[in-house]
Amino acid sequence: MALESTSPPTIAPALSILVSGASGLVGQALCEKLQSRGHRVRRLSRSERGDVQWDVAAGQLDTAALVGVDVVVHLAGESVVQRWSSAAKERILRSRVASAHLLVDAILEQAQRPAFISASGISYYGADLDDWVDESSPMGDGFLAEVVREWEAAASALTDAGVRTAFLRTGIVLSRQGGALAKMLPAFKCGVGGRIGDGQQRMSWISLPDLVDAYVFAVESRSVRGVINAVAPEPVTNSEFTEKLGKVLGRPTILPVPAVVVKMLFGQMGEETVLSNLRVRPQRLTELGFEWQQPKLEHALRAAFDAAQS
């Protein structure tokens, strides 16, 4: 599905880009956008559906796959939306860290080392902070904060070697095709959606088109490096989000979900995701001149539903 764009015209010459996690929500949209801008995209996959295969568990990746590649975009990783048993936590962590190490080692073997653009998460800052945070803010507490720390640290050898490296710490991605919004829709469509807990927790979000454009911006602009908060400029409370979603859907939002129910159903995962309270400022994107297509929540929600119906 084509995504509208206000991102800058493609740089010349066209780039060769290797993308892991290309079959996911963000990966599919990103590959399509990159190709529409004249870039050459190679999809890295565990299956034969990709252009290049790898086996993270076995530590297998043919380094020849990176010959001639200008940028590696790393999006692969196990979903965090599951109950966090000890085994699940291990899978979530290792799927990110081991895959990053595999790519980093392959990059370091290249005569011409490609840039490395990696997915990451705003959960680095913790799960419950009332004050604003930006890219200079310290690491917070929690399992996901530790996952992000190790995920990003896996690429430290690239930074030390002078390779351009960037981490897009992403908030809640708004798309009807997947992610948090898709999981909310059944309840809201039935008129039984409502705020979660007291509804005052801040939600730092970004529309799928803006997130894709942020990745394109990072791929094409050599000035993009280090940590980048990939969120919209205006976080909202959960109550505000609930009100806007109900308005867009034309459904009532009068049945709140108590925080205790979330904790009972999802445990620690619910506390660090659904009940998370973070006001994240996209300081670096603003300084670099990035322009959001959908900086306002209601516009982003309406656009998400319009895109799904087109």
Tens digits of per-residue pLDDT, 248-287? Answer: 999 888 888 888 888 887 889 889 988 899 999 999 999 9
Q: Is the pLDDT of residue 171 over 90?
A: yes
Mean pLDDT of 233-240: 96
| SS3 of residue 121 by DSSP | strand
77 occurs within a structural domain: yes
3 occurs within a structural domain: no
- Domain CATH number, residue 21: 3.40.50.720
When pLDDT is cut at 50, 70 and 90, the band that residue 4 belongs to is very low
> Residue 165 contacts by C-beta under 8 Å, 6 or more apart in sequence?
115, 116, 117, 118, 155, 158, 159, 225, 226
Q: Note whether 110 and 70 are within 8 A (CB).
A: no
Number of structural domains (the chain) is: 1
Match 């809640």 to its residue by tokens: 172
Cross-strand pairs, 206: 173
203 occurs within a structural domain: yes
Q: Note whether 189 and 138 are within 8 A (CB).
A: no
CA distance 258 to 196: 6
CB atoms within 10 A of CB 148: 23
66 occurs within a structural domain: yes
Report the mean per-residue pLDDT for the chain.
91
Q: Domain limits at 257?
A: 16-309
1 occurs within a structural domain: no
Mean pLDDT of 31-44: 96
Q: Is the pLDDT of residue 10 over 60?
A: no
241 occurs within a structural domain: yes
Token duo for residue 288: 């670099």
**Most confident of the following: 190-204, 259-273, 292-306:** 292-306
46 occurs within a structural domain: yes
**The pLDDT value given to residue 309:** 57
CA distance 189 to 255: 13
Token duo for residue 141: 């507490």
Cross-strand pairs, 174: 207
When pLDDT is cut at 50, 70 and 90, the band that residue 183 belongs to is confident
CA distance 310 to 293: 18
Cross-strand pairs, 52: 44
Report which of 176, 184, 178, 306 is spatially closest to residue 241, judged by C-alpha positions.
Answer: 184
Q: Note whether 116 and 161 are within 8 A (CB).
A: no
CA distance 210 to 173: 9
Exposed e or buried b per residue across 92-105, where buried means at least 16 C-beta atoms within 10 angstroms of its C-beta: bbbbbbebbbbbbe
Mean pLDDT of 17-26: 95
Q: How many CA atoms lie within 13 A of 244 on its CB side?
A: 20
**The pLDDT value given to residue 266:** 82
Poorest-pLDDT segment among 103-117, 132-146, 196-210, 242-256:
242-256
Token duo for residue 164: 């351009």
Task: Give percent of the chain above pLDDT 70.
Answer: 94
Q: Report the amino acid identity of residue 109.
A: E
Cα→Cα distances 123→84, 95, 171, 181, 197, Å: 16, 17, 8, 18, 19
Mean pLDDT of 204-213: 97
10 occurs within a structural domain: no
Token duo for residue 206: 């970004």
**The pLDDT value given to residue 261:** 82
Cα→Cα distances 8→5, 191, 218, 237, Å: 9, 41, 11, 32
Alpha-carbon dihedral angle through residues 49, 101, 127, 236, given to the nearest 10 degrees: -50
How do residues 38-89 score in pLDDT, each as one tens digit?
999 999 988 777 799 999 999 999 888 899 999 999 999 999 988 899 999 9
How do residues 120-152 score in pLDDT, each as one tens digit?
999 999 999 989 999 999 999 999 999 999 999
